Amino acid sequence: MDTPRPSTGLRQNHGGVADYVSPGVTHRPLLLGFTPSTFESLAFIASGSTSIILFLLIYRPGSQPVTTLFFDELTSALEMLVIYSCQLIIAGDINIHVEDTSDPHTISLMNILLSFDLIQHISVPTHVSEGTLDLVITHQDQMLTDVCVDPPDIISDHSLVVWKLPLNRRRPIYIHHRFRDWRRVNRTLFRAALLDSALCRPPPDATSTELFDIYHRELSLLADNFARCIH
């Protein structure tokens, strides 16, 4: 899947985000609910036989200044993602120098990640300028292994970042259903029983609370008599 940058008519159109998924891995796109204007992105869910992972790929153009709107849109995207109870990976070229912990943009980014219980894993330069611009972000309890950052300026001025993520196996979910087979109820007999019940002969001085109790009790008795629960 890919999200190419709209063409500007120029010969070269830098930008866009794409993912390649191995055969046998089911994946589908996920809509964020809005289209960010400060970064390019691609969200999708990948699932195997035992695990589900939610991905958000991001490219924030380095030619654009970091603005408050970027952090607002990133926050909106994270609010959509953290509601899913599965593993999460956010990766891409954010173009913020997170190696400079005193930088206001770095502080804003890290505060946002902290507020969502997220952690950033890359701590070495990923660009020829010695900046750490390409990030991998997960939940706090997701630890990456075998993180490898290749030297930049081999194919690109950015590094190739490779890592492994131990998969959490999904626990089986068992759902027990109870239902009443109303289709087989004899409606004539049910109507007669209903007319003969206290529902149709309520005490004239009953309070609202007493009327609700009669309603619940009598209907429960009728339901148990005519349409017992089936598991």
Domain ranges of the chain: 2-164, 179-230
Dist. CA 41–CA 60, nearest whole Å: 9
What pLDDT sits at residue 169? 72
pLDDT in tens, 174-193: 777 778 888 888 889 999 99
Q: What is the dihedral of CA 26, 27, 28, 32, to 10 degrees?
A: 150
- Which stretch of 72-76, 91-95, 128-132, 163-167 has the lowest confidence by average pLDDT? 163-167
What pLDDT sits at residue 143? 86
Pick the closest to residue 21 from 58, 47, 49 (CA basis).
47
Q: What is the mean pLDDT of residues 198-226?
A: 89
User: Position 142: which residue type?
Assistant: Q
Confidence of residue 154 (pLDDT cuts 50, 70, 90): confident
What pLDDT sits at residue 114? 95
Dist. CA 71–CA 95, nearest whole Å: 13
Confidence of residue 11 (pLDDT cuts 50, 70, 90): low
Confidence of residue 10 (pLDDT cuts 50, 70, 90): low
161 with 149: CB under 8 angstroms?
Answer: yes
**Residue 83 token pair:** 């509601």
User: Position 229: which residue type?
Assistant: C
Q: Which CATH architecture has domain 2-164?
A: 4-Layer Sandwich (3.60)
What pLDDT sits at residue 38? 94
Query: What predicted TM-score, i.e. pTM, was given to this entire model?
Result: 0.70
Pairing between strand 87-93 and 52-59?
A: parallel
